[in-house]
Structure 1
Amino acid sequence: MNAIELWNEFKMKCNIDTDEYEAWAFGASPDKLLDLVVQGKKRATASCNRLYELNIDPLPEIGGYSVLLDSNGDAKCIIQTTSLTYVPFKEVDEVFAKKEGEGDESLAYWRKVHKEFFTNCLNEIDELFTEDMIVVCEEFKVVYKII
């Protein structure tokens, strides 16, 4: 099922009257991270604010919807953003790392994998990762999924 088909099904079944949503896949390990969302283990994600400043990615909004895609572009679920906070990388805490639901859910694991991911993202725009870079910490809830 593609993003439009899943969105239309969601709108009809949940009586939603908007066509405003983003469709995207996680940048690192899209299928693995999507599976964690569907299982209810992953309730947050982090992104590099610099990419939003440069208009490379659309900035999430509280209340906004996203159709999550797997690595083949198939739509699997819809999430709604419930919270956004902007913090330096070095100030992301254990509570948020656990909500991300990845690895052993520790802050050490979160820092390791996100430092690698953000370094790669910033390298693509000829910028360097720093511990002071601003991270957009997005929390969400699953509002619809394929059963």
Structure 2
Amino acid sequence: MGHDDLPSLELAFPGPERDRGVAAILSGRKTALTGLLAIFEHAGEAVPQTGQWYSVLDSEGRPAVTIELVDVRVLPMKEIDDEFARAEGRGYSDVAQWRAAHEEFFQSEGVSEFLGRTPVIDDGTLVVAERFRVVESA
């Protein structure tokens, strides 16, 4: 299956944050990602399923790496643990750092603009916690 046949996945917004995320996947440091369930719902997109493959795009919109989801769970933010936070490959030493970064992103101008509101982020906020493996680099 070629990159063109796969649904695409874009991390964060184009620019340094996306580039760091793609680099972390390519280096093997990043094996997990988290999405805000409200974003999927607002976009009318189904929650990803275990076994799905995605073409992860770089900031230029080009395929950078193909991943396969190996575990997908919808859960409240309070259930994310230190191990998952470290698997995000962004240098978080614990879930507190992960939480602070995700609250900042989920309440950022770009996300708020997309949703048409600034989301409330608390312990019960539902997130889509995904673990993946690299299938191939582009």
Same fold (TM over 0.5): yes
Residue equivalent to 2:18: 30
How far is 1:87 from its partner?
A: 1.4
Secondary structure class of the residue paired with 2:65: strand
Secondary structure class of the residue paired with 1:72: coil
Question: Amino acid of the residue matched to residue 112 of structure 2?
Answer: N
For 1:70 and 1:55, locate their aligned partners in 2 and report how far apart those are by CA, in whole Å: 21
User: Residues 121-147 of structure 1: CA distance to partner in whole angstroms, max 9, x if unpaired?
Assistant: 65222142221210110000000113x
For 1:59 and 1:101, locate their aligned partners in 2 and report how far apart those are by CA, in whole Å: 22
Q: List aligned pairs for 1:63-78, cutoff 5 A.
A: 63-78=51-66
User: Residues 91-132 of structure 1: CA distance to partner in whole angstroms, max 9, x if unpaired?
Assistant: 211111011111244212211110111112652221422212
Q: How many residues align?
A: 131
For 1:128 and 1:30, locate their aligned partners in 2 and report how far apart those are by CA, in whole Å: 21
Matched, 1:47 2:35: yes
Matched, 1:128 2:119: yes
Q: Which runs of 5+ in 2 are unaligned?
A: none
The answer (yes or no) to whether the contact 2:111–2:118 under 8 Å persists in 1 is yes
The answer (yes or no) to whether the contact 1:115–1:129 under 8 Å persists in 2 is no
Matched, 1:7 2:8: no
How far is 1:78 from its partner?
A: 0.0
Consecutive aligned runs of 4 or more in structure 1 exceeding 4 Å deviation: none
TM-score, normalisation: structure 2: 0.84
Q: Which runs of 5+ in 1 are unaligned?
A: 9-18
Which has more radius of gyration? 1
The answer (yes or no) to whether the contact 1:42–1:99 under 8 Å persists in 2 is yes
